């Protein structure tokens, strides 16, 4: 083992926040510090941001899609060697918005060095869980709400690209600013993540057709890379089956599918197809002039966590639906967008990101029920909107009815009814960004007739990829983004549980930053910082957190 940079050994125990069961959060003052094995790394956490996703894990625990066992993507023997791998009922350490410094490495570690300061990418998308999601730091792998964390080099190198999931960062940025790259990157990912716009090459295709419906547009929907690897046909008539056979795709009997194309309009059939859709799958409903005529139970939770997609056409060709899929979820010129739940930490990030995106003729409505949150957002976002010539309106729907349609929805609350509301208020080609993670098993009644007639597209992303983090880092380095504008409170380990409660109760408008090395510092809103640490408060700029304030806090609080 390589020793720590200061030449001493790692401590035997540490402070850590642990989740030991549903809604059972505890501060462990003597959690063992894992010693690194041959392929492993120990890093000291500098700062970690609290996230609404931490609250979802707190409530769901073993039911959370990312707390389950890893079923593919890595050899089981490797998982057995990682003490920080804690699936199922094992206690975990939450916290996935972190920055760290490597303090010890095993003798077989080749890509990481002691002393490196790193931004933590947390989303291991190639490691699939039994629930159809992916493994993640802060979920089924221990996260950053502790002083020291162990990671294994064999699973923090991206397959194919070889990119590191511990991204080196310089010393010029404050710890809070770097930690907040992760949530800002999640926001970025929801706009720039590419969408599949064809039937998947080498994928599994299911074709379903009601009696009297003609099979059209399948071959035209194939990817340039090739046909699906297999097709399963559930068609009522011989001529329909013949049309599928003419595609020249090998038959197969599968249980889940990358593409489901349904030529029909029967509610029960659509609902039965919900659970046959594989992760990242697309279901295409070809109505051919017919109507479903009643709401349909749709797996809205899987749109976010399973990256499933729903498309359709009022016409007769399946190709028309695929053609309507946008390249990404990015804002378009002339967009009339609404961020629902804009006053919260992630909503504020969406609003600030959107008005700074340089989208011509953008109109953005930011809604929240909390007037104080809206005012906080107004102070941060209005000057940016004015500078970028974007129209920004703040609306409390309890006081002002919104009787209008929108071309873009960004949903910040994990409430299925908001998806249904978005469809009711959708304009033509409306994009519905389900940013908040509705639990994966949840289904909700949607008006698919309106959804298809308006050529809506609902999508969701979960977490971020290295690309997104690099985009955000570049914006920071160029002075186009200050992630510290999100900070509303700071804390040591003593206040971490109170911080998560504040997230749950929506008592703070912005992000909460925890400094794990500060054991006894409670949760302190920036507005009350002068009561406890006046010298730190003096380093704020217009009430905003800064690297100078952070340095003063660490010095004053004795880190």
**Pairing state between β 134-136 and 123-129:** antiparallel
Q: What are phi and psi of 537, to 5 degrees?
A: -60, -30
**Could you tell me the pLDDT band of residue 203, with boundaries at 50, 70 and 90?**
very high
What's the CA gap between 362 and 379, in Å, rounded?
19
- H or E element that contains 125: strand 123-129
Write the CA distances from 87 to 20, 32, 63, 92, 232, integer angstroms: 12, 18, 11, 8, 35
| pLDDT per position as a tens digit, 117-161 | 999 998 898 999 988 789 999 999 999 999 999 999 999 999 999
**Could you tell me the pLDDT band of residue 53, with boundaries at 50, 70 and 90?**
confident
**Pairing state between β 426-434 and 406-411:** parallel
- Determine the 3-state secondary structure of 113 from DSSP: coil
What's the CA gap between 458 and 293, in Å, rounded?
20
Q: What are phi and psi of 408, to 5 degrees?
A: -150, 130
What's the CA gap between 510 and 343, in Å, rounded?
8
- Determine the 3-state secondary structure of 54 from DSSP: helix
What's the CA gap between 221 and 196, in Å, rounded?
11
CB–CB of 79/147 below 8 Å?
Answer: no
Q: What are phi and psi of 234, to 5 degrees?
A: -125, 70
CB–CB of 364/392 below 8 Å?
Answer: yes
Mean pLDDT, residues 35-47 taken together: 97
CB–CB of 210/233 below 8 Å?
Answer: no
In the chain, the domains with their CATH numbers are 13-173+487-521 (3.90.180.10), 204-323 (3.40.50.720), 336-445+455-463 (3.40.50.720)
What's the CA gap between 452 and 423, in Å, rounded?
10
For residue 26, pLDDT beyond 60: yes
Q: Number of helices and strands (H, E) in the chain?
A: 17, 26
CA atoms within 13 A on the CB side of 41: 27
- Determine the 3-state secondary structure of 434 from DSSP: strand
| pLDDT per position as a tens digit, 245-282 | 999 999 999 999 999 999 999 999 999 999 999 999 99
Nearest to 79 by CA among 149, 17, 21, 135: 135
What's the CA gap between 471 and 465, in Å, rounded?
10
pLDDT at 445: 98
Nearest to 102 by CA among 114, 119, 85: 114
**Could you tell me the pLDDT band of residue 4, with boundaries at 50, 70 and 90?**
very low
**Could you tell me the pLDDT band of residue 2, with boundaries at 50, 70 and 90?**
very low
Mean pLDDT, residues 233-248 taken together: 95
Q: Which residue has the tokens 């109505």?
A: 287
pLDDT at 8: 60
| pLDDT per position as a tens digit, 307-319 | 999 999 999 999 9
Write the CA distances from 405 to 127, 410, 427, integer angstroms: 40, 14, 5
CA 356 to chain centre: 21
> What is the DSSP code (8-state) at residue 278?
E
**Could you tell me the pLDDT band of residue 559, with boundaries at 50, 70 and 90?**
low
**Could you tell me the pLDDT band of residue 439, with boundaries at 50, 70 and 90?**
confident
CB–CB of 259/290 below 8 Å?
Answer: no
Compute the mean pLDDT over every residue in the chain, rounded to the nearest whole number. 94
Nearest to 236 by CA among 259, 257, 215: 215
| pLDDT per position as a tens digit, 69-122 | 999 999 999 999 999 999 999 999 999 999 999 999 999 999 999 999 999 998
First vs last Cα of the chain: how many Å apart? 26
| pLDDT per position as a tens digit, 327-371 | 999 999 999 999 999 999 899 999 999 999 999 999 999 999 999
């Amino acid at each position: 083992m390589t020793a720590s940079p200061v030449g001493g050994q790692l401590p035997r125990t540490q402070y850590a926040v642990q989740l030991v069961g549903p809604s059972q959060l505890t501060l462990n003052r003597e959690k063992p510090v894992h010693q690194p094995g041959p392929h492993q790394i120990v890093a000291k956490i500098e700062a970690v941001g609290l996230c609404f996703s931490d609250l979802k894990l707190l409530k769901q625990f073993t039911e959370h899609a990312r707390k389950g066992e890893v079923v593919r993507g890595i050899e089981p023997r490797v998982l057995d060697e990682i003490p920080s791998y804690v699936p199922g009922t094992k206690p975990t350490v939450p916290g996935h918005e972190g920055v760290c410094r490597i303090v010890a490495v095993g003798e077989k570690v080749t890509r990481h060095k002691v002393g490196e300061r790193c931004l933590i990418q947390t989303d291991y998308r190639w490691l699939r869980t039994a629930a159809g999601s992916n493994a993640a730091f802060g979920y089924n792998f221990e996260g950053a709400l502790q002083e020291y964390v162990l990671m294994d080099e064999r699973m923090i190198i991206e397959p194919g690209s070889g990119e590191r999931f511990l991204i080196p960062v310089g010393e010029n940025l404050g710890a809070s600013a770097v930690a907040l790259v992760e949530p800002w990157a999640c926001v970025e990912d929801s706009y720039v993540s590419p969408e599949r716009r064809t039937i998947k090459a080498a994928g599994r295709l299911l074709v379903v057709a009601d009696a009297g419906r003609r099979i059209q547009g399948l071959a035209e929907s194939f990817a340039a890379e090739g046909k699906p690897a297999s097709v399963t046909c559930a068609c009522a008539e011989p001529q329909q089956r013949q049309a599928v056979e003419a595609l020249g795709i090998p038959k197969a009997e599968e249980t889940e599918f990358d593409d489901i194309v349904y030529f029909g309009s029967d509610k029960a059939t659509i609902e039965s197809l919900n659970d046959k859709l594989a992760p990242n799958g697309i279901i295409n409903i070809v109505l051919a002039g017919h109507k479903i005529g009643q709401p349909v139970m749709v797996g809205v939770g899987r749109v976010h966590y399973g990256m499933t997609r729903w498309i359709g056409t009022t016409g007769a060709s399946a190709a028309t639906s695929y053609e309507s899929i946008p390249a990404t979820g990015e804002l378009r010129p002339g967009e009339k967008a609404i961020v629902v739940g804009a006053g919260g930490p992630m909503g504020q990030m969406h609003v600030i990101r959107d008005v700074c995106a340089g989208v011509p003729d953008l109109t953005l409505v930011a809604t929240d029920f909390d007037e104080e949150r809206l005012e906080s957002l107004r102070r941060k976002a209005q000057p940016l909107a004015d500078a970028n010539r974007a129209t920004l309106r703040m609306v409390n729907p309890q006081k002002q009815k919104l009787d209008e349609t929108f071309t873009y929805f960004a949903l910040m609350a994990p409430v299925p009814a908001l998806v249904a509301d978005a469809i009711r208020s959708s304009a033509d080609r409306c994009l519905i960004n389900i940013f908040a993670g509705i639990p994966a098993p949840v289904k909700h009644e949607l008006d698919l007739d309106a959804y298809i007639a308006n050529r809506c597209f609902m999508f969701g992303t979960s977490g971020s990829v290295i690309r997104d983090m690099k985009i955000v880092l570049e914006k920071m380095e160029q002075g186009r983004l200050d992630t510290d504008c999100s900070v509303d409170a700071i804390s040591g380990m003593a206040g971490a549980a109170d911080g998560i409660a504040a997230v749950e109760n929506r008592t703070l408008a912005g992000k909460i930053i925890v400094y794990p090395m500060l054991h006894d510092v409670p949760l302190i809103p920036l507005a009350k910082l002068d009561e406890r640490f006046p010298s730190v408060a003096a380093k704020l700029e217009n009430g905003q957190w800064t690297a100078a304030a952070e340095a003063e806090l660490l010095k004053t609080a004795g880190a």
